[in-house]
Homo-oligomer: A and B are copies of this chain.
Amino acid sequence: MSARAGIVVTGTEVLSGRVRDANGPWLAERLLDLGVELAHIVIVGDRPEDMAAQLRVMRDQGLDLVITSGGLGPTADDLTMEVVARFNGHEMRFDAELDATIAAIVAPMARRWRQADPEAVAAGTRKQATVPDGGAVLQPVGTAPGAVVPPAAGAGPTVVVLPGPPRELQAMWADAVATAEFHAATGGHTTYRQHTLRLFGIPESEIAATLRVAEREVDGFDRLEITTCLRRAEVEVVTRYEPDAEQSWDALLDVIRGRHRDTLFSTDGTTIDDQVAKLLTGRRIALAESCTGGLLAARLTERPGSSDYVLGGVVSYSNHAKESLLGVDPELIERLGAVSPEVAEAMADGALSRFDADVGVGITGVAGPGGGTEEKPVGYVCICVKTGDGQVLAADPRLPGDRAEIRDRSTTVAMHMLRWLLQGSS
């Protein structure tokens, strides 16, 4: 059995829906990497009794590890350290060395505040330097130290106390994992293997059907823990298993390969973005976007070093821009409409020639909510991918979703068309 963990995130602004919690998902991925099973993520407000109640629930459920984020600030209402100390049976102690460390960090910040009251600042520092008398202290990344706090006596989860700002939490994580207390709480458990498969161009229900087949055909199927999910128009299948179930995994992979050879594009964990970036090595791409409004260019340039292969793009939202910046024939737009396979190809041609590129992409579509017609409804998108030596791939799918989803899915379809064309021609 693997170790089991829970996460407690504090933050009123997360509860109000104005801020998305980034720490829960980030920690979830780290725990997965370590082979620790995550039982809960809980988001609570700033009330100490709510956090205490959640810690008790997690103890009742026999969890080995609890990770908290937030509530470590200098003000009196940031009470995570005290709640955790009490929960695991420790007194609080003032740590003079830590106090000096924090004071040195805070001093230059305090000087910048207009209304900073030196006494209040010192009180805040003292408060942050007061930590549970037991377990390990984690040195501050911002101003707040963290801690790894095992139960003083008896059973119960070891609590890893981390700050709320994602940058600080992430920087402190390695220190937490390196402590003897962390190891004691999670060690001695089986490690799991994990593989991610990615498919494009089939509904999730097809994978569900395949898994029903695999359930009958694969020996030891029940030893595989499989989750599937739809993400950015792709289906992701994640399988986790103990090392001695490797043969069952191999058999499952054979079943999926056999039934979905045409849509299974990644078995080694790479994303479509990884694959397209690799395929573009040594080539130069240019984009011509209408309905996606620059999203494909933004997606390709997310990656550091993308300037090696992205020359640029034109966002031709107006017909005039399609004509003057991409050289699309006005007569073509007039005759077939700005959203048509022909105009998408003319845009790709324009991108190729204007940027002197090796690969060009043209995208034009109806992102909605307005502008749809019976013939060209909202979600109808024309995409053309073309190389300088004349190879072409074109598609005009009708994509589901709202305006944001249609725009995002259009970029995913274009990425897969790039993969098909570049793989074929390399």
Contact A315 B315 (CB under 8 A): yes
Q: CB-nearest residue of chain B relative to A324? A: B354
How many copies of this chain does one complex carry?
2
Contact A321 B312 (CB under 8 A): yes
Is residue A39 contacting chain B, with contact meaning CB distance below 8 A? yes
Contact B294 A12 (CB under 8 A): no
Contact A14 B41 (CB under 8 A): yes
Bound-state Cα–Cα, A116 to B203, Å? 14
Which size bracket describes the interface of A in this complex? 35 or more
Q: Mark A1-29, 1 if CB is under 8 A from B, else 0.
A: 00000000000111111111000111111
Is residue A155 contacting chain B, with contact meaning CB distance below 8 A? no
Is residue A54 contacting chain B, with contact meaning CB distance below 8 A? yes
Contact B317 A325 (CB under 8 A): no
> Among residues 292 to 314 in chain A, which have CB atoms less than 8 Å away from a CB atom of chain B?
292-298, 300-302, 304-307, 310-314
Bound-state Cα–Cα, A152 to B287, Å? 61
Contact A24 B40 (CB under 8 A): no
Contact B316 A312 (CB under 8 A): yes
Is residue A335 contacting chain B, with contact meaning CB distance below 8 A? no
Contact A317 B294 (CB under 8 A): no
Contact B28 A39 (CB under 8 A): no
Q: Smallest CB–CB gap between A157 and chain B, Å?
A: 15
Q: Smallest CB–CB gap between A356 and chain B, Å?
A: 7
Given the complex, which residues of B lie within 8 Å of A356, measured CB to CB? 320, 324
Is residue A404 contacting chain B, with contact meaning CB distance below 8 A? yes
Is residue A173 contacting chain B, with contact meaning CB distance below 8 A? no
Contact B304 A403 (CB under 8 A): yes
Contact B321 A317 (CB under 8 A): no
Q: Mark A187-214, 1 if CB is under 8 A from B, else 0.
A: 0000000000000000101100110110
Given the complex, which residues of B lie within 8 Å of A41, measured CB to CB? 14-15, 42-43
Q: Smallest CB–CB gap between A8 and chain B, Å?
A: 10
Which of B213, B227, B311 lies in contact with A321, CB distance below 8 A? B311
Q: Mark A332-364, 1 if CB is under 8 A from B, else 0.
A: 000000000000000000000011100000000
Contact B12 A17 (CB under 8 A): no
Q: Smallest CB–CB gap between A413 and chain B, Å?
A: 17
Contact B315 A313 (CB under 8 A): yes
Contact B29 A25 (CB under 8 A): no
Bound-state Cα–Cα, A53 to B325, Å? 61
Contact B113 A206 (CB under 8 A): yes
Contact A32 B50 (CB under 8 A): no
Which of B12, B18, B293 lies in contact with A298, CB distance below 8 A? B293
Bound-state Cα–Cα, A300 to B227, Å? 37
Q: Smallest CB–CB gap between A240 and chain B, Å?
A: 9
Given the complex, which residues of B lie within 8 Å of A316, measured CB to CB? 312
Q: Mark A365-389, 1 if CB is under 8 A from B, else 0.
A: 0001110000000000000000000
Bound-state Cα–Cα, A292 to B297, Å? 9
Bound-state Cα–Cα, A284 to B407, Å? 22
Contact A301 B294 (CB under 8 A): yes
Is residue A263 contacting chain B, with contact meaning CB distance below 8 A? no
Which of B115, B292, B354 lies in contact with A212, CB distance below 8 A? B115
Q: Smallest CB–CB gap between A218 and chain B, Å?
A: 15
Contact B13 A368 (CB under 8 A): no
Is residue A224 contacting chain B, with contact meaning CB distance below 8 A? no
Q: Smallest CB–CB gap between A35 and chain B, Å?
A: 12
10 A-B interface contacts by CB (under 8 A) = A14-B41, A16-B29, A17-B27, A17-B28, A40-B50, A113-B205, A115-B210, A310-B318, A312-B314, A314-B315
Closest 3 CB pairs of A and B: A294-B294, A17-B28, A293-B301
Interface residues of A (CB under 8 A from B): 12-20, 24-32, 38-45, 50, 53-54, 57, 60-61, 109, 112-116, 203, 205-206, 209-210, 212-213, 227, 229, 231, 236, 238, 284, 286-287, 289, 292-298, 300-302, 304-307, 310-318, 320-321, 324-325, 354-356, 368-370, 403-404, 407
